[in-house]
Structure 1
């Protein structure tokens, strides 16, 4: 397992909004979260979700649901209200990390997954071995089932600028 060296943990404070935002500066050349660091990225928060496809064995449907689950309970007004001085909603950056069962990764439609996000530039997407394929207990031909496999995908959405 690769260890990433961190330069320092910094907190930006915006007194007018009463907001303190921690972020990590990564040593030049080091990889944050095992992802590409070609563009500077100030991490604000991480959203996590799980998605399932119980019928039809569609890994893309499970990944889309995982991403929707990660972002569906959140609102990000800071990008639209000016709470982060000098940063507008057009500058929001996203990094995605999906845990997908290895045997189904080749079936994943990345463009459909990216389409889940209403705004924010996706600067990196990392697909790793993860998730799960398990029996659902029933196969329904009318719902497109080829067998009783249930596909499960985990998603981590890193939001920053």
Structure 2
């Protein structure tokens, strides 16, 4: 598949498959020079020199770009690691808080059970203490008789 492309004022015949391979290998190696199999379609020397200068500028810009981007990527990686560390710390704290809440809820359930048991017992003990107090103060036999329950008719 050969197509005509215009570079400046010169038309060039380009083998696109070979061009793609050249660009891929050039991008990987950083070498944008033309392969030896292309001498038949080379533009005049002045145009070639201008193209080579442009390629050199692009290569320098690519290197400058790499120099700027690599530190930025490293900085992002460091920030990402810090954020992951902070997130892990927050998750640990949240797990500890959930555990404490569960423990507190468990203690609350136990307290409620104890209170449920103790409150009726306290009422019984108060009544018993009142009867004993009555005996002590000399009310005699009336204090020994448990209080009558009032029944609704």
Higher strand share: 1
Provide TM-score, normalisation by structure 1: 0.18
Higher helix share: 2
Which has the greater radius of gyration? 2
Provide TM-score, normalisation by structure 2: 0.18
